[in-house]
Amino acid sequence: MEAITESERDAVYKTIYSRRDTRGEFKSDPIPDEVLLRILDAAHHAPSVGFMQPWDFIVVKSPEVKKKIKAGFEIAHQEAAEMFPKEKQEQYKSFKLEGIVEAPVGICVTCDRSRTGSTVIGRTANPEMDLYSAVCAVQNLWLAARAENLGVGWMSIIHHDLLKEILGIPEKIVPIAYLNVGFVSHFHEQPELEKKGWLPRQALSSLLHWDQWQTEQVEKP
């Protein structure tokens, strides 16, 4: 199999560093079908435990379905606001945290835990591995989308039981992510929560350990 060249490597890093969680910058322009299929196929080529490929993808374009998901967000968002300390609640409420209705496409990524039977290579000691495979599919999709100059936002503020009801997802299937996807007016230079002072970017050096966990590094800002 062909080696990756330096300029190809640099393109991968450019994509990784310029990927953002998009909420407020979606344009309504439709995503061409061939582009949508390319990012879904990239997701399908994520690593999966025991080659299980446990994922499914529900592509949402219907305004009615989006409206129901938005209502589900509103419920969980209201509950969430009350969970923050009083002094943080106003700032939390000021953030735009989703683009459910504005984004032309929603993609729900799910995990079918029994897809290939009960015993799966690599999932024997760690049963969560199939869920993690589906998350790898999300990240493949996200980077492929960025490479197509599409923004993606992971909208996790909804109760999954309600999401399953809205999308008709069977009982045994686990929702992993609901993603808003679309072209954008621009990508932010920095993650928004960093720019707005919610949390700082940690220094990489503070996250590295060598051969053993370094206890003095457990404390984080």
Restricted to residues 140-159, the positions that interact with a copy of itself (CB under 8 A) are 140, 142-144, 146-149, 154, 156-159
**CB nearer to a copy of itself: pick between 40 and 102:** 40
Distances (CA, A) of 201 to 30, 118, 126, 195, 196: 34, 41, 31, 10, 12
| Helix/strand/coil for 134 | helix
**CB nearer to a copy of itself: pick between 2 and 28:** 2
Q: Tell me, by CB under 8 A, how many residues bind a copy of itself.
A: 112
Which of residues 27, 30, 32, 37 is near a copy of itself by CB under 8 A?
37
Is residue 27 involved in binding a copy of itself (CB under 8 A)? no
Is residue 211 involved in binding a copy of itself (CB under 8 A)? yes
Site string for a copy of itself, 181-210 (x = CB under 8 A): -----xxxx-x-xx---xx-xx-x--xxxx
Q: What's the rounded Cα separation, in Å, for the pair 43 and 79?
A: 32
Q: What's the rounded Cα separation, in Å, for the pair 119 and 101?
A: 40
Q: Please report how close the Cβ of residue 24 comes to a copy of itself at its closest, in angstroms.
A: 15
Identify residue 132 by its one-letter amino acid code. Y
Q: What's the rounded Cα separation, in Å, for the pair 194 and 176?
A: 25
Map the footprint of a copy of itself across residues 91-130, applying CB under 8 A.
92, 95, 97, 112, 115-116, 119, 121-126, 128-129
Determine contact, residues 105/155, Cβ cutoff 8 Å.
Answer: no
How many residues make up the chain in this entry? Answer: 221
Which of residues 24, 50, 74, 101 is near a copy of itself by CB under 8 A?
50
Determine contact, residues 217/209, Cβ cutoff 8 Å.
Answer: yes
Q: Please report how close the Cβ of residue 70 comes to a copy of itself at its closest, in angstroms.
A: 14
Encoding tokens for residue 197? 């002072």
Is residue 7 involved in binding a copy of itself (CB under 8 A)? yes
Q: Please report how close the Cβ of residue 71 comes to a copy of itself at its closest, in angstroms.
A: 14
CB atoms within 10 A of CB 119: 8
